[in-house]
Structure 1
Amino acid sequence: MKLFKYFIYTALGGSLLTGCSKELDLKPTDGFTDANAFRTIADAQLAANGAYGRYGTNANTIYSTALVSDETKIGADNAGQGALTFRYQYSADGTTGGDVTAAYTGYYQMIDQVNRTLDKLPTVIATPAEEPRRNILKGQLLALRALAHFDLLQLYSKAYSANEKGIPIMLTSNIYAQPKRNTMGEVMTQIEKDMADAFALLPAVTPSTFSDTVMNQVNINAYRAKIALFKGDYQNAVTYATNVISSNVKPLASAADFPGIWTDANTTETLFRIRYSTGTTMGALWTTTGNLVYIAPSDKLIATYGTGDIRKAAYIGTYSGTTKNYVNKYFNSSKGGRVVDMKAIRIAEVYLIRAEAYAKLAVPDVNAGTNDLNEVRSKRITGYTNATFNNAGDLITAVLAERFKELCFEGTRLFDLKRNNLPVSRNASDVGSAAWQTLPAGNYRFVFPIPQYELLANPNNVQNDGY
C-alpha cells in the first residue's frame, strides 16, 4: 500500500453534509494525533464527514470511464485534457495514466479514514443523548468502506469471476502495510458483509426521515442491488431493487421536475449524492465558466435521443450561435457555474438494474423487466407507447441502450459494457483516428492499471495484464 503520511480528520471543502454543521473547534496543540483527534462523538462525526467527502473520488471514476467509453469525444477547446485516456494510450505511470490511476489512491485514502474512525469510535465520549449516534456512524462508515472497495473492484479488476485477481482488502489502518491482492470472491464477500452489517446498524427509513447525503437502509439496498448485478446474483439484485422501489422514498421524477435534478433545484430521484456548496469538482471536468469545452458529449450519444425525450435538453447543451455541444448535467446551479452536486445513485438506475436482472434470471421474467423499462421511458419520453419484447435477449439489449441514455456521465457505461462482454464502439465522427474508434470486448484496457508508485511501494502487489 502506498505510504500516506498525512490524514486530515475533517469535512472536505465543499462537501459538508446534512446534520453535521458544527465547526471544527481548533485548540492549541503541539501535535495532531489519533489520541487528540478522537475524543468525542462530535470528533468522530467530523471524521465521518471527511470520509463522505473523500467519496468525491467517484468524480474521477465518472470522468475516466466516460473518456474510455463511447459517451464522450474530445471537445473543441481541448488542450490535451484527457486525450491520452480517450485514445487508449494510458499506462501505469503518472505521465500518461493520471486519469486512470488517481482513483486507486483516492479510494484507499477514503478506506484508511474510515478504518481509523472505526477503530476509535467504540471509545469516544458520548452523552446519553448522543449514544445512538455511535451505531449510526459505524453503520455509515461500514457502508462507505464497502463502496470504496466496490469501486476499486470495478475499476481495477475484470468482469466478476470469484477466482480472478481482485484488489487488496483493507480493514485496519496501517500505512506500512504491503498487502497482496485478494481474489474478487474474497473482496465481494467483504463488501457484502460490510453492507449487511451497516444495514443492521442503521434505523429504518421512511420518506419523511430519508436523507440523500448520508448512507441509510434505502440507499444501501440500492447499492446492494448494483453490487449483486455486478456479481451476477440476479435474484438478490431483484430483491434489493424491489425493496428500494417499494420504499417510495424517491419515486421517478415527473417531466416538470426532471430538469431540476441537474441544476440542484430539487433532489427528486437522488438516493445518494455528494454536495458541493462552492466546488466545481463535477462541472469543471467537462467545461469552463468561460464556455470552453474540454470534453464533449459524443455524437453517438446525442443521436440516441428521439423526439420528445426530455433527457436530451437536460443532459446536452449547445452554446448559442455555435455547434459546440457540452455536458449539461453538471453545468450550472443557483450556487454558480459548474457548481453542481454529484448524483452517485438514483432511483432510475435501480429500475434499470431490476429490469436487467429480471431478464438474466435462470428463468427470465421478461414481462416484469419490460414493465420496469417502460416505467422509466414513460417518464422521459412525451407520448411514449409501451414496448414489448419477445425474449430476454432483446430486453437486455434494450435495457443497456436505455442505461446509455439515462445514466450517461454517471460512471456506469464502461462497467455496463465490461459486465456484458461488449466492445466500446464509437462513431467515426467522434474520433480522429480509427486506432481508437473501437475497444474490443475483453481488451485489457477495460481494466485500469495499478499505479506504478503503488507497485514500487508494495512488492506484494501485482500489475494487471497488458501493462
Structure 2
Amino acid sequence: MKKYILKYGMLAVLSTATLTSCSNDFIETEFFQQVQQGPLNTIEEMDAFVKGQYLSMRNAAYYGCDFLMIGEARSNNMYSDFANGAGYYQTVASYSMTANDQYATNPYMEMYKVIAKANIVINNVPSGPLTWKASQDPTAIQTRANFLKGQSYASRALALFDLLRMFGQEYAGGTTGVVVPTVYDPEAKQARSTVAETRAQIEADFDKALSLMGAASSAATTNRTEMNVYTVKALMSRYYLYKGDFARVRTLVAEIVAGNKYSVIPAADFSASFSKPNSAVNSIFEIAVGSTNDLGTTSISNKLNLAPNGYGNMKVLPALRLSYIADDVRGSVISSANVLNGKYVNGFDNIHILRYEEVLLNGAEAELNGGSAATALTYYNLIQSKRGKATGALAPAAAVTLDMVATERQKELVGEGFGYWDLLRRNQPVIQRSSSGAAGTIRNVGNQLLTFPIPRTEINVPGTPVTPNPGFGA
C-alpha cells in the first residue's frame, strides 16, 4: 500500500466547515487539525478521527454517490444514460475501464482513507490516561474510548468489504483479494491478500467491533449518523449474505428484529424518509450531509434527477418500472421517463447506508436457505404491509420464494447500489447495456472484467508488491 493513499489517514478532519451538517450530532466545535502525529490523548481527539472516517465515506466517489451508482450501472435495475447524462459511468457501463479510470481510482482512494483513519484509532496508545471534557469517571472514559474503537473496527470492516467487492477477484476467476493494512504506516508497501485472508480480517473486525461496543450501545440508536451495535449487526447481515453464510445472517437478523428499535417506513412516508435527516424509523445508519456540505453536482440526486435538478444520468430499466402494481407506492417514485425522482431529491440529503427493509430482505433470503419458510414470510410481509398507496398495505403473500425475495430487493432497493453485487453473489449473468438500456454482451461469473482495475497510481509505485487485475489495458 503506497504512501499517497495512507498519508491521508492522518488528516482526520480538514476544516471546520467540512464536518458541519444539519445534524447536531455531527457538529463539533473543536477539530484538532494539528493532531497529525503521535498518540491521541483525549476522547475528543479520538472522536474527531472517527468522524473523519464518516467524512471519507461521504465523499462523492464513495457512498456520497459513485460507489452506489456503480452498483446500479451494471445491474438489472438501472442503466447509465451516458449519452444524454454528461457521460457519467460510461466506462463502467461499457466495460472499457483502464487502470487510469476515475471510477476505480477515486473509490479506491476513499476506501483506504477510511481504513487509514480507522487504524489510527484502533492502534492508538495514549501517552497517559485518556481525558474527556464530558466526564472525569475513568470507567465512563474507557467505555466511550471502546465505543469509538468499535466504530473504527466496523468502518475498517465495511471499507474492506467494499474494496473486496470492487477489486477482489472472487467473481472474476481468481483468488486474489485486496491490500489489508491493519496499522497506519504511510511508508509501508504491502501485497494484496487472498480473498479468504481478506474475509478473515473483515469478520475479525466486525466481531471486535461488537465486543468493544458492548451492550450499552444497544440503547444508543437515536443518533443514526453514528454506528452502534445494531449498525454493526446489520452490516454483518449484509456481508454474510454476500458470503453465503445464511445461518449467521439468520441469527443476526433475528437479533435486530427482536431489539425492536426500527420499523418499516409507512407508505405515506416512503419517499420523504430519504430526505429526513437522522429521524426516519427505518434508518439504521446514514451519513450526515446537510446544507453546509451539499454535494451539489457530485451528489446521488444529481445523477438521478433530470434538469434543472440534475443530469438524469441513471435511469430505471423499463421492465422494472412496469413490474410495480398500481397500488405499490414504490412505483410512484419512478416517472414514465424511467427517472427515479423520489429518492435523494436534494444534494444535501443524508445518505441512507442501512435501512431496516434491507435487513428484513437479508433475513428472508437466509431463512429460505436452510431456515424457516414461515419466518421468511413474516419478514417479507412486514414490508408488504407498508407499501400500499391506497390503504397503506399491499396484499400479503401466502408463501414466499427466493425469486420473490430477489424481485422484492429490486423493487425496494433500486437506486441504492445493490444490483450488481446481488447478481454476482447469486451467480447470475450480468448484461451489458447501451446508453438507451438495450441489452448487449452477457458476462457470467468468472469473466475477468467483472472486477475493477487496480489504479495505475497504485501499481506504478516503485517497488510495490501490489499486482494488477488481469484484463485491463493501460
Q: TM-score range by the shorter chain?
A: 0.7 to 0.9
Per the alignment, residue 394 of structure 2 pairs with 384
Per the alignment, residue 351 of structure 1 pairs with 360
Equivalent-residue separation in structure 1 for 2:24 and 2:205 (angstroms): 23
Using the TM superposition, name which of 249-258 and 282-291 deviates more.
282-291
The alignment's C-alpha RMSD in Å is 2.9
Per the alignment, residue 329 of structure 1 pairs with 343
SS in 1 for 2:192: coil
By how many angstroms is 1:275 displaced?
1.0
**Residue 173 and residue 206 in structure 1: after superposition, are their counterparts in 2 closer, same or farther (change >3 A)?**
closer
Matches within 5 A, 1:372-411: 372-381=379-388, 384-389=394-399, 395-411=401-417
Per the alignment, residue 99 of structure 2 pairs with 92
Equivalent position to 1:414, from 420, 440, 448: 420
Equivalent-residue separation in structure 1 for 2:269 and 2:14 (angstroms): 30
Per the alignment, residue 182 of structure 1 pairs with 193
Equivalent-residue separation in structure 2 for 1:26 and 1:156 (angstroms): 33
Per the alignment, residue 72 of structure 1 pairs with 78
CA contact (8 A) 1:162 1:186 kept: no
Equivalent position to 1:293, from 286, 298, 312: 312
By how many angstroms is 1:11 displaced?
6.8
**Residue 330 and residue 11 in structure 1: after superposition, are their counterparts in 2 closer, same or farther (change >3 A)?**
farther
By how many angstroms is 1:237 displaced?
0.5
By how many angstroms is 1:225 displaced?
1.2
SS in 2 for 1:340: coil
Matches within 5 A, 1:40-59: 40-56=42-58, 57-58=62-63, 59=65
CA contact (8 A) 1:286 1:295 kept: yes
CA contact (8 A) 1:121 1:138 kept: no
Deviations 1:301-355 (A, max 9, x none): 31222211111223x246xxxx4734431113xxxxx321111011101111011
By how many angstroms is 1:294 displaced?
2.5
Equivalent-residue separation in structure 1 for 2:201 and 2:304 (angstroms): 35
The one-letter amino acid of 1:260's match is A
SS in 2 for 1:182: strand
Equivalent position to 1:120, from 96, 112, 124: 124
SS in 1 for 2:249: helix
CA contact (8 A) 1:41 1:134 kept: yes
Equivalent position to 1:248, from 242, 250, 260: 260
CA contact (8 A) 1:69 1:413 kept: yes
Per the alignment, residue 154 of structure 1 pairs with 165
By how many angstroms is 1:141 displaced?
0.9
How many residue pairs get aligned? The number is 442
Equivalent position to 1:200, from 200, 211, 226: 211
Deviations 1:10-33 (A, max 9, x none): 277256565453323679xxx764
Per the alignment, residue 221 of structure 1 pairs with 233
Equivalent-residue separation in structure 2 for 1:45 and 1:289 (angstroms): 39
Per the alignment, residue 349 of structure 2 pairs with 340
CA contact (8 A) 2:191 2:466 kept: yes
By how many angstroms is 1:269 displaced?
0.6
**Residue 465 and residue 304 in structure 1: after superposition, are their counterparts in 2 closer, same or farther (change >3 A)?**
farther
Equivalent position to 1:272, from 280, 285, 291: 285
What are structure 1's unaligned runs of at least 5 residues?
333-337
SS in 2 for 1:166: strand
Equivalent-residue separation in structure 1 for 2:362 and 2:110 (angstroms): 27
The one-letter amino acid of 2:464's match is P
Using the TM superposition, name which of 291-300 and 121-130 deviates more.
121-130
CA contact (8 A) 1:68 1:88 kept: no
CA contact (8 A) 1:305 1:405 kept: yes
By how many angstroms is 1:421 displaced?
0.7
Deviations 1:209-232 (A, max 9, x none): 542111111111111111111221
Equivalent-residue separation in structure 1 for 2:107 and 2:421 (angstroms): 15
Equivalent-residue separation in structure 1 for 2:220 and 2:123 (angstroms): 32
Per the alignment, residue 464 of structure 1 pairs with 469
**Residue 373 and residue 427 in structure 1: after superposition, are their counterparts in 2 closer, same or farther (change >3 A)?**
farther
Using the TM superposition, name which of 282-291 and 251-260 deviates more.
282-291
**Residue 412 and residue 148 in structure 1: after superposition, are their counterparts in 2 closer, same or farther (change >3 A)?**
same
Normalising by the residue count of structure 1, what TM-score does the alignment of the two structures yield?
0.86
What are structure 2's unaligned runs of at least 5 residues?
none
Deviations 1:135-179 (A, max 9, x none): 111111111111111111111124489992111111001122221
SS in 1 for 2:353: strand
Per the alignment, residue 155 of structure 2 pairs with 144
Per the alignment, residue 113 of structure 2 pairs with 109
Equivalent-residue separation in structure 2 for 1:427 and 1:82 (angstroms): 12
By how many angstroms is 1:257 displaced?
2.5
**Residue 146 and residue 44 in structure 1: after superposition, are their counterparts in 2 closer, same or farther (change >3 A)?**
same
SS in 1 for 2:178: coil
**Residue 430 and residue 70 in structure 1: after superposition, are their counterparts in 2 closer, same or farther (change >3 A)?**
farther
Equivalent-residue separation in structure 2 for 1:263 and 1:91 (angstroms): 36
**Residue 15 and residue 238 in structure 1: after superposition, are their counterparts in 2 closer, same or farther (change >3 A)?**
farther
Equivalent-residue separation in structure 2 for 1:89 and 1:219 (angstroms): 36
SS in 1 for 2:99: coil
Equivalent-residue separation in structure 2 for 1:84 and 1:429 (angstroms): 11
Q: Does 1:309 align with 2:328?
A: yes
The one-letter amino acid of 1:446's match is L
SS in 2 for 1:120: coil
By how many angstroms is 1:465 displaced?
3.5
CA contact (8 A) 2:68 2:417 kept: yes
CA contact (8 A) 1:51 1:144 kept: yes
Equivalent-residue separation in structure 2 for 1:138 and 1:105 (angstroms): 22
By how many angstroms is 1:240 displaced?
0.4
CA contact (8 A) 1:122 1:134 kept: no
Deviations 1:236-285 (A, max 9, x none): 11000111111111111122222221222642211000011122233233
Equivalent-residue separation in structure 1 for 2:30 and 2:187 (angstroms): 29
